[in-house]
């Protein structure tokens, strides 16, 4: 019989091996990989299902902080590296790993948990709902023209890795406090995840390029990208693979996209994580040339409903009483009264009949302001009278859509 426990340094190599195998890889076995693992993972939050001396399942949590509507920063247990070996499927290992993880997040007092789902059919049953979405964008640079011209005094410069880090960190921090869904990045996170450029991570593409946009001597945006050369009958058909674009001004956003779509020999541009409210399609004369497909991104589970709901701000005032049903706790239900005045919330557990009923994953879907309560009600995911559903939608919805910049 297997048991679940946190790992030690002695378990780390086996853990990394089984984790990589769970996602179909072989993993890096060099000392640099061990150093990165120690720097990023917290051993007291990294756990495994052991069957004798072997590891048959892995899991962990990052101690993250996420920006919520209104700019407040909320601690989040970042659910990560959940795998089960193919020899032990359908034996309750996943359920045991998740139960252990959620209990640990609750014990730490983190009001929310979050993840990027390897399979979207799995995590609703544990109370997570998709709270942010992204567009996968594909652009034909040969057919794109920018709708406006830009001030020639602005400049785009390429920086090497060492010079880029302090510059792009400064821009990221300026945006993070204003953009819902963005994560606080620690020094280790920057050094060992974001600025590390391990060859095995490149997928046959170049090292990372760092382009920064300058206005009046100040950097107001950056783009991180890779390139992959390709030729068809001596005609260049190279690819620009955009990793991240973060800007503080409209000019920087437009200027960086003008740069990314006009690199000689690289007419195909792909961005895996374009915000769904990004103005890029409106920056070009033919928006059909920016082909987009919608994909879920950060999933959220509320661990402490009153604390989580009181942490964010709201763009409308009102009140609603709702019941949540938690599939991760055998369908246990609880009822809460949410009252919002001047954008600030008071949420309390109450008794009595609710106005609305929803599962915990639906509440997670709504939490960051990008969810749609009206659509959820039409799908049968929220039950209640129409005025209360509309009130719930007005309370939770925000004008700006949340965006999470990275998978963890």
- Convert the pLDDT of each residue in 136-168 to its tens digit: 999 999 999 998 776 656 789 999 999 999 999
Catalytic machinery residues = 123, 408
Average pLDDT along the chain: 96
- % of the chain with per-residue pLDDT over 70: 99
- % of the chain with per-residue pLDDT over 90: 92
* Of residues 275, 167, 172, the one with CA closest to residue 217: 167
3-class state of residue 124 by DSSP = helix
Q: How confident is the model at residue 217 (pLDDT cuts 50, 70, 90)?
A: confident
Q: What DSSP line would sit under 202-269, residue for residue?
A: STT----EEEEEEETTEEEEEEEEEEE--EETTEE--EEEEEEEEESSHHHHHHHHHHHTT-TT--EE
What's the Cα-to-Cα distance from 223 to each of 67, 269, 319, 396, rounded to whole Å? Answer: 21, 13, 42, 31
DSSP state of 146: B
User: Residue 376's pLDDT is what?
Assistant: 98
User: Residue 309's pLDDT is what?
Assistant: 98
Q: Which two structure tokens, joined as six digits, stand for 75?
A: 């601690």
Handedness of CA 175, 181, 187, 189 (dihedral sign): negative
Average pLDDT of 383-395? 98
| Helix pair angle (31-40, 12-22), 10° resolution | 90
Q: How confident is the model at residue 98 (pLDDT cuts 50, 70, 90)?
A: very high
Contacts of residue 181, defined as CB under 8 A and 6 or more positions apart, other chains included, come to 66, 67, 131, 132, 298, 368, 370, 402, 403, 404
Q: How confident is the model at residue 132 (pLDDT cuts 50, 70, 90)?
A: very high
Average pLDDT of 207-231? 95
């Amino acid at each position: 019989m297997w048991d679940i426990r946190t790992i030690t340094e002695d378990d780390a190599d086996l853990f990394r091996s089984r984790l990589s195998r769970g996602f179909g890889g072989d993993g890096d076995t060099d000392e640099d990989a061990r150093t990165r693992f120690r720097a990023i993972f917290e051993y007291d939050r990294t756990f495994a299902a052991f069957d004798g001396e072997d590891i048959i399942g892995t899991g962990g949590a990052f101690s993250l902080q996420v920006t919520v509507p209104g700019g407040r920063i909320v601690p989040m247990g970042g659910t990560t590296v959940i795998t089960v070996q193919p020899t032990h499927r359908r034996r309750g290992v996943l359920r045991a790993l998740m139960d252990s993880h959620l209990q640990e997040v609750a014990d730490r007092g983190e009001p929310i948990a979050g993840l990027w789902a390897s399979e979207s059919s799995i995590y609703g049953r544990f109370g997570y709902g998709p709270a942010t979405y992204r567009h996968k964008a594909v652009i034909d640079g040969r057919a794109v023209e920018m709708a406006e011209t830009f001030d020639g005094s602005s400049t785009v410069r390429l920086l090497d890795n060492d010079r880029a880090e302090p510059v792009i960190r400064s821009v990221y921090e300026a945006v993070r406090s204003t953009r819902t869904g963005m994560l606080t990045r620690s020094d280790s996170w920057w050094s060992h995840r974001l600025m590390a450029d391990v060859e095995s991570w490149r997928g046959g593409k170049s090292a990372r390029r760092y382009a920064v946009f300058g206005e009046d001597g100040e950097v107001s945006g950056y783009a991180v990208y890779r390139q992959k050369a390709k030729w068809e009958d001596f005609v260049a058909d190279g690819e620009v693979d955009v990793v991240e674009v973060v800007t503080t001004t409209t000019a920087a956003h437009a200027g960086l996209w003008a740069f990314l779509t006009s690199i000689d020999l690289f007419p195909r541009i792909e961005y895996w994580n374009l915000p769904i409210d990004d103005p890029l399609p409106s920056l070009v004369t033919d928006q059909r040339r920016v082909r987009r497909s919608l994909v879920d991104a950060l999933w959220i589970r509320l661990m402490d409903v009153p604390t989580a709901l009181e942490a964010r701000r709201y763009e409308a005032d009102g009140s609603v009483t709702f019941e949540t049903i938690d599939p991760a706790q055998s369908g246990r239900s609880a009822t809460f009264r949410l009252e919002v005045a001047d954008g600030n919330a008071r949420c309390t557990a109450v008794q009595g009949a609710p106005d609305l009923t929803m599962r915990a994953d639906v509440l997670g879907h709504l939490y960051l302001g990008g969810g749609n309560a009206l659509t959820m009600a039409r799908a049968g995911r929220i039950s209640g009278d129409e005025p209360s559903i509309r009130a719930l939608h007005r309370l939770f919805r925000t004008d700006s859509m949340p965006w999470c910049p990275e998978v963890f």
